[in-house]
Chains A and B, each alone.
Chain A
Amino acid sequence: MDKKIGVYICGGCGIAESIDAAKLAALARKECKAQAATVHPFLCGGEGLETIRKDLAAGAVNTLVVAACSPRVKTEAFDFGARTVVERVNLREHVAWSHAPNDEDTRVLAEDYLRMGVARARKSEAPVPASDQISRDVLVVGGGAAGLTAALETAEAGYGVVLVEKQATLGGFAATLKQRFPTQPPYAEPLADGVRELADRALYHPRIRVLTSAGVESVQGQPGMFDATIRTEAGTTNVRAGAIVEATGWKPYDATRLTRLGYGASPDVVTNVELEKMAAEGRLARPSDGKPAEDVVFIQCAGSRDPEHLSYCSSVCCMATLKQAGYVRRQNPNARVYVVYRDIRTPGQCEAFYRKVQEDPLNFFVKGEVEAVGANGDGKLSVTLKNTLLGESVALMADLVVLATGMSPNSADGEAIRALEDAQTRAVKGQTEAQRAEASRKADELKRHAGTQILNLAYRQGPDLPALANGFPDSHFVCFPYETRRTGIYAAGAVRSPMDIAHAEEDARGAALKAIQSIELASRGRAVHPRAGDESFPAFFLQRCTQCKRCTEECPFGALDEDEKGTPRPNIYRCRRCGICMGACPERIISFANYSVDMIATMVKAIEVPEEDEEKPRVVAFICENDAYPALDIAGFHRLQYDPGVRVIPLRCLGSLNIVWIADALSRGIDGVMLIGCKYGDDYQCHFVKGSELANRRMENVKETLQRLQLEPERIQVTQLAINEYGKLPELLNGFMELVREIGPNPYKGF
């Protein structure tokens, strides 16, 4: 289809007071060769929109450039259907509101933005969504409280489920409990575990297929079309699923490492899990001699909140101990319970249970740290405490010591497993002795990950979800707790964060929703969060691929596999549409219908670069559209003013920045290039995990190139900016312009 560009310039909100809109329209017609160019004083109003609709209906234009406010506002007004390309040129927030009115530099800025907008609109096509046969079944791995809940809730919403459990029976850890602690009103008495009922419902649910004594041998494919091979006692079975929930639960922290707390030295030192078992079997007594336990000491945080063991808090042990104190007291009305704690953590309504337990005069709460647990000679154990509230050491005599051990996830770190395999390969095939030695060292460091696979994903980037700190495949985002790095695969329950049964069930419900949602979005050819609904996807012109593997290595979501030669094999339903692969590709063979290397390069080339003697330096700022771009809008809203020499180009993610754009800019005489992306590092804020970090890394390489070209590396500046740091933008932009002026004009001007 031939592009017929219509340019619609709004004069409202101070734009007409700032620039000569009619002149801009003339430029659109003459220089940008727009088929139509209209100025309206209030474009988003009924009459303004009608002008656009009429031109579209008459066939006078088919591609729109709306030069008005930010694309973050009036989205609905300027939406003319999915098939009509609309390019928004931000004359309001980024020009009129942030620069001197009726100023020569402001005029030139507006002209450049219009040229850039038209240039982009000419190259941009409305994406055609992918369309494939999408499975509406969910594979749930793990049949404990979380897995059963995920399965049932998914099935109740009308989707099919295959539930895989490694044990012979369903129920997981919850099924071994005598009782569970209260999380429902009146929060005062422990409850039945509830999980047996879930298991029965799952077993007889018409949309749930239960496979016990089963494991996942392999998972091929992508969301909407995962092909899993499940190993059961009867052989292997193949399952097609649209999404996966990993609910593999937890294991108690290994108490044999807690010798300091007496575990192993005396049979009368047990873990809370062992105590639960004793209580469930109705034989709560001293293991050494079977006598009733008169004095029972619970040691909280046994292995948790301890940098030598688990640095995190296991969340549930306080409530578990309160519950178990009840077992002890009910069994033996004369028994005394001592709870040695650092902080009692019973958040929310759980406090009511804590109060209830405190009402019992034979429950004693002792704040302190355990120094030692040893035999006292009379068959009793002695627990010595320091840093107590009394300020002195205290020794408690105990018949039974219960270690409130914490939760370790039953997880596998896919990236670590992959790194281990890579290191093992390099340890053998490395080119030099030093490389092989280094690889062996690395392999040794990672050896604990060997054989931990759960999902066995056939992904280039590793066979399981990547884990965060402490091995939890959790989300890094406060506001998006289901943001997993493997599209269509969601962790739920204690595998992703320490949590109790009630929370695990809720979490499983959320994960089930996300699984269903990824199926629904895939069936419409749309991306999931954070570009939910995006119908574009990357296309690869593989004839020109040099097998450099940068795209397959850098994709944060493991969307790309490789063939034996290293050619990428895209899996578009795994893709989040960030464009990081596009930024990584040195051959520039990856593009989206509405986002490509060529498109942005054309925008860069549309910028008019003044002659050197005009002394008007130009800077291009590539900025993240999720945070830096809104921050610049907010700066405009507050009418913060900054240097009009900066031309901003928003990117889907700074990681989609292709270094050829830098070369294009500098070779055209642009004096400096800014990159503004999200924070990276441990507390990264990049919505695509690694985008801004990757862009920064690419710049390190670019700077070397600059030096070879005898261009100052300072001409490129990379900055991290959070959305609420809009106030810093004027100083940042002005400061860089100042620096560029000091460095002097780009010698490539005029070439």
Chain B
Amino acid sequence: MSARAILVVGGGISGITAAVEAAEAGRQVVLIEKSPFLGGRVTRTHLYFPKLCPPACGLEINYKRIRNNPAITVLTQAELESLAGTPGSYQATVKIAPRFVTSACTACGACAEACPAERPDDFNYGLKKTKAAYIPAANAFPPLYAIDRPACPNGCRACVDACRYGAIDLDQPVERRTFDVAAVIAATGWAPYDAAKIDNLGFGRHPNVVTNVIMERMAARDGPTGGRILRPSDGRPPRSVVFVQCAGSRDDNHLPYCSAVCCAASLKQATYVRTECPEADVSIFYIDIRAGGRLEDFYARVAADDCIKLIKGKVAKVEAAEDGDLLVTAEDALQGRKRSHRASLVVLATGIVPQSGGLPAGFVRDEFQFLPGAGGRAGLYSAGCVRRPEEVMASVQDATGAALEAIQDVVRGAVHG
């Protein structure tokens, strides 16, 4: 019998990696992603720590690997609806929601130009709007537009009329496909913790309190501000920026675990501020700075900047001050007193929430809803931030390892099946 494929659920950096690594080892792979585009959280990240290099660089290579490899089937707007069968011999039913744009699309942009409707731009965390016919970024993969049907005016066919290539099909149905797979890798990633739940930190009440993921979009050159770090309230560059570490993490009322990446992310974002707003000073309030391994050198480099202050202490509250500024009250653990700090922009280092819902039975979750990867049903693996909170490099490592575990199931299936 022919060897079965490997199903990878989630098209962020972990899923992409698992898929291309398995395919380049000579295996068939089906990669499904629930949104219309691959890339997940990393496409929305301006730069990686510690090298301060753009994620688009590695994604470009990875997309090229996918394009050049016929062993990978990429399905977007696709979810794993059910998984039947037994370990090593599963039947995966994938539900594919309509994109309303076919592969005939050339990404020329005529549809978006003609489109009269707008939608909040989720790629930019709602910081701006796009047309209902949209592509989130110039390097989006697949390079096809998508149409957000709920955002379309009734009966509107402007995009259909504008497309010279017949690439728009507003009647596209939901599709279901079934694949014989030997193993499933869940690489469903993470979502930022909902900062509005952290009542004392003022997110959602004060416009100049933002989260670290929003900060990434503000710094990105293709983001809503064209890479300029500006206060949402008045569009002015901030004079002083406060980073609040463990905003929700290491906190029994929110996320009891440490989200592992926020320390290095804030150190990195401090460099964004220093590059983009050289006049601004930066304060980082922390419990412990967790920059393990090689990241220590990066930490030391950032900490050496006189305009970046690291203050050990947990932030108690963030309140409004005059001119859109904010008053950050923190306990300064080293000085042993409370201190208030005025900031023109506050960045909450919100943590990682695993996206382990919606997976079929057989995946085992820990008390925090991560999929730690042990004790589950055979042939079901996890990789990346759904496994544990971790940085990109570690995600790629365990995605590569997960590819091997899945290949073992393919090999066993070929021998025994």
Contact = CB atoms under 8 A, between A and B. Distances in A.
20 contacts: A72-B143, A74-B106, A75-B67, A153-B401, A184-B374, A343-B290, A345-B288, A350-B258, A351-B256, A352-B256, A389-B334, A389-B336, A390-B336, A480-B396, A482-B397, A506-B398, A532-B24, A678-B57, A723-B54, A727-B226
B154 interface: no
B107 A73 contact: yes
A479 B16 CA distance: 11
A313 B61 contact: no
A481 B397 contact: yes
Interface string B379-404: 00000000011111110111111111
A355 B257 CA distance: 10
Contacts of A516: 25, 404, 407
Nearest to B25: A517
B369 to A, nearest CB: 11
Interface in A334-367: 343-352, 355, 367
A687 B59 CA distance: 12
A391 B401 contact: no
A381 B164 CA distance: 83
B416 interface: no
Contacts of B108: 12-14
A479 B392 contact: yes
Interface centre among A158, A349, A482, A532 (most CB of B within 10 A): A349
Interface in B124-167: 138-139, 143, 164-166
Interface string A87-104: 000000000000000000
Given A12-B164, A343-B289, A626-B60, A348 B106 contact: no
A480 B58 contact: yes
A503 B292 CA distance: 13
Interface stretch (A223-231, A423-431, A507-515, A555-563): A507-515
Given A311-B300, A479-B55, A348 B388 contact: yes
A479 B396 contact: yes
Interface in A556-595: none
B198 interface: no
A27 interface: no
Interface stretch (B45-53, B314-322, B355-363): B45-53
B54 A509 contact: no
A312 B60 contact: no
A509 B258 contact: no
Interface in B261-308: 288-297, 300
Interface string B227-251: 1000000000000000000000010
A333 interface: no
Interface in B338-366: 366
A86 interface: no
B24 A517 contact: yes
B89 interface: no
A266 interface: no
Contacts of A290: none
Contacts of A530: 61
A168 interface: no
Interface stretch (A198-206, A256-264, A630-638): A630-638
B48 A478 contact: yes
Contacts of A387: 334
B323 interface: no
Nearest to B389: A348
B68 A153 contact: no
Which 3 A-B residue pairings sit nearest by Cβ, starting from the closest? A479-B58, A509-B401, A510-B400
B5 interface: no
B58 A478 contact: yes
Q: In terms of DSSP, what is the predominant structure of the interface of chain B?
A: loop
A158 B64 CA distance: 29
Given A513-B400, A638-B138, A683-B52, A76 B67 contact: yes
B69 interface: yes
Q: How large is the interface on A (under 10, 10 to 19, 20 to 34, 35 or more residues)?
A: 35 or more
A69 B67 CA distance: 15
A186 interface: yes
A626 B58 CA distance: 9
A498 B296 CA distance: 12
B405 interface: yes
Interface string A101-126: 00000000000000000000000000
A350 B297 CA distance: 23
Contacts of A411: none
Interface string A469-505: 1101010111111100000000000000111000100
A324 interface: no
Interface string A151-162: 001001110000
A553 interface: no
Interface string B163-178: 0111000000000000
A508 B405 CA distance: 12
B139 A478 contact: no
A530 B258 CA distance: 34
A628 to B, nearest CB: 11
Interface of B: 13, 17, 20-22, 24-26, 46, 48, 51-62, 64-65, 67-69, 104, 106-108, 138-139, 143, 164-166, 220-222, 226-227, 250, 256-260, 288-297, 300, 312, 333-336, 366-368, 370, 372, 374-375, 388-394, 396-405, 407-408, 411, 415
Interface in A507-558: 507-510, 512-514, 516-517, 520-521, 524, 528-530, 532-533
Contacts of A347: 258, 260, 290, 292, 389-390
Contacts of A13: 106, 108
A685 B53 CA distance: 7
Interface centre among A12, A69, A481, A512 (most CB of B within 10 A): A481
A596 B389 CA distance: 46
Contact of A69 (B25, B106, B256, B392): B106
B67 to A, nearest CB: 4
Contacts of A235: none
A679 to B, nearest CB: 8
A487 to B, nearest CB: 13
A725 interface: yes
Contacts of B221: 724-727
B106 A352 contact: no
B407 to A, nearest CB: 5
A506 B53 CA distance: 25
A45 interface: yes
Contacts of A482: 397, 400
A581 to B, nearest CB: 21
Contacts of A724: 46, 54, 56-57, 220-222
A12 B415 CA distance: 50
Interface centre among A389, A391, A725 (most CB of B within 10 A): A389
Contacts of A184: 372, 374-375
Interface centre among A42, A185, A315 (most CB of B within 10 A): A185
Interface centre among B60, B370, B403, B407 (most CB of A within 10 A): B60
A206 B399 CA distance: 27
A517 B23 CA distance: 9
Contacts of B56: 630, 723-724
A627 interface: yes
Given A156-B408, A349-B388, A513-B407, A506 B297 contact: no
A480 B69 CA distance: 18
Contacts of A679: 53
A352 B257 contact: yes
Contacts of B48: 478-479
A44 interface: yes
A313 B390 CA distance: 16
A312 B297 contact: yes
A305 interface: yes
A722 interface: yes
A637 B408 contact: no
A348 B288 contact: no
B293 A313 contact: yes
Interface centre among B226, B289, B295, B400 (most CB of A within 10 A): B400
B296 A313 contact: yes
